[in-house]
């Protein structure tokens, strides 16, 4: 049970969250974290991006003190996650993939109960609950059992519950997984409002669009290792100015086209379904080269599109595979 905060004021310094060489092994063989390091500046959002099993949730569990690292160190709000675990817990909020509220209680009862568990007076717990219900657009549903809430409403209530004690740092572990687009947008807007008010957020996500919209900086992890870090613009810039998408009649033809282009292109072409993606760094001359090579091989594309690179392109380029979320989307098509 969390007790009333006795933590000292937040220590000075640029980082609200610091991780240095974190290692966590399960069963002696599976290295869920393999030397993970990153920092989150105060009042910003760090997007921890990667597929299922990349190590994102394990990193959050270490940083929120529910797991101890095997090696490395981490500090949150200036407090060591091992040696000062209680102070860390008192100064953070956590909302995960699944709503942690009691579905048999109303939204108001959930927030009041959490406030009293945090040793707020009955009056203060009620006042904070009312403020959060209004802020998260849940006032009309406040006295309904939370089991009657939609997925988006329950997720908003869960984030509200993590904010009852007004923590300066908020961990959001895949908070929009399974939500419809409208509910996801509503949660995104709430996160933006929190950050505008000075909250530091570490956001784990499988959704490239989510990281692109919300994160000031992005850390890409795969198989327990940090494989890239930077702003969305910096990561996209590594792929060149534009991406050329070439469409073919079927996946087999696309694979043949990618193989033909591989010997004439500075970077490896990527075949995804009926599309071949090429990073373009020198403008029209490269586009003409691609068309000439394909025409000579009798593999002229049916469609051609030039576009700005996306985080999806970044991830494919770094790992050779899609995120789990994008794989689900592709399968649904």
Q: Which CATH code fits 15-234? A: 3.40.50.300
pLDDT at 4: 38
Report, as ranges of residue numbers, the positions in the chain whose pLDDT lies below 50. 1-6, 8-9, 325-333
Angle subtended at Cα 142 by Cα 136 and Cα 147, rounded to the nearest 5 degrees = 100
> What is the distance between the alpha carbons of residues 268 and 255, in angstroms, rounded to a whole number?
12
pLDDT at 322: 61
pLDDT at 9: 46
> What is the distance between the alpha carbons of residues 272 and 274, in angstroms, rounded to a whole number?
6
pLDDT at 30: 86
Domains of the chain by residue range: 15-234, 240-308
Helix, strand, or coil (residue 323): coil
pLDDT at 250: 94
Asked whether the whole model's pTM tops 0.85, one would answer no
Helix, strand, or coil (residue 36): strand
Could you tell me the two tokens for 201? 């957020």
Average confidence score pLDDT of the chain: 87
240-308 to CATH, choices 3.30.70, 3.30.460, 2.130.10, 2.20.28 = 3.30.70
Tens of pLDDT, residues 168-183: 999 998 888 878 888 8
pLDDT at 294: 94
290: Cβ contacts below 8 Å, ≥ 6 apart: 244, 246, 261, 264, 265, 278
pLDDT at 34: 95
The CA R_g of the chain, rounded to the nearest whole Å, is 23
């Amino acid at each position: 049970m969390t007790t009333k905060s006795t933590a000292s004021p937040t220590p000075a310094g640029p980082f609200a969250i610091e991780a240095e060489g974190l290692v966590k092994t399960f069963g002696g063989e599976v290295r869920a974290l393999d030397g993970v390091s990153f920092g989150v500046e105060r009042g910003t959002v760090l997007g921890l991006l990667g597929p299922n099993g990349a190590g994102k949730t394990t990193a959050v569990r270490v940083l929120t003190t529910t797991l101890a690292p095997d090696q490395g160190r981490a500090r949150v709000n200036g407090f060591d996650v091992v040696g000062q675990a209680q102070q860390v817990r008192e100064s953070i909020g956590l909302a995960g993939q699944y709503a942690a509220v009691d579905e048999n209680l109303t939204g108001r009862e959930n927030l009041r109960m959490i406030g009293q568990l945090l040793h707020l007076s009955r009056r203060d717990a009620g006042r904070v609950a009312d403020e959060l219900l209004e802020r998260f657009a849940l006032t009309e549903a406040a006295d309904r059992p939370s089991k009657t809430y939609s997925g988006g409403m329950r997720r908003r209530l869960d984030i509200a519950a993590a904010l009852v004690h007004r923590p300066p740092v908020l961990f959001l572990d895949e908070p929009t997984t399974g939500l419809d687009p409208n509910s996801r947008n509503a949660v995104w807007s709430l996160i933006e409002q929190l950050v505008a008010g000075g909250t530091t957020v570490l956001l784990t996500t499988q959704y490239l669009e989510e990281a692109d919209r919300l994160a000031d900086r992005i850390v890409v992890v795969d198989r327990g290792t940090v494989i890239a870090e930077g702003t969305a613009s910096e990561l996209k810039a590594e792929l060149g100015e534009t991406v050329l998408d070439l469409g073919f009649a079927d996946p087999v033809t696309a694979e043949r086209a990618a193989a033909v282009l591989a010997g004439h292109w500075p970077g490896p072409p990527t075949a995804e379904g009926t599309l071949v993606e090429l990073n373009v760094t020198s403008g029209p001359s490269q586009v003409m080269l691609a068309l000439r090579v394909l025409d000579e091989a009798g593999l002229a594309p049916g469609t051609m599109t030039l576009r700005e690179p996306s985080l999806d392109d970044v991830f494919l380029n770094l790992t050779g595979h899609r995120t789990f979320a994008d794989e689900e989307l592709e399968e649904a098509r």
